[in-house]
Amino acid sequence: MAKLASCVALVSGGLRGIGRAIVDRFVAEGALVVVGDLDADGAGIEHDYAGRVLYQRLDVGSADEWSRCWAAAEARFGPVSILVNNAGTSRTGSIADTSDDDWDRVMTTNLFGTFAGCRLAVRSMAAQGGVIVNIASARGQRPGSSQCAYSASKAAVLNMTEGIALHCGEQGLPIRCNAICPGVVDTPLLRRNLEQRGDGAFAALAARQVIGRLGDPGEIADAALFLASDDARFITGATLNVDGGFRIRDL
- Residues serving a catalytic function are 150
Q: What is the 3-state secondary structure (H, E, C) of the chain?
A: CCCCCCCEEEEECCCCHHHHHHHHHHHHCCCEEEEEECCCCCHHHHHHHCCCEEEEECCCCCHHHHHHHHHHHHHHHCCCCEEEECCCCCCCECCCCCCHHHHHHHHHHHHHHHHHHHHHHHHHHCCCCEEEEEECCHHHCCCCCCEHHHHHHHHHHHHHHHHHHHHHHHCCCCEEEEEEEECCECCHHHHHHHHCCCCCHHHHHHHCCCCCCCECHHHHHHHHHHHHCHHHCCCCCCEEEECCCHHHCCC
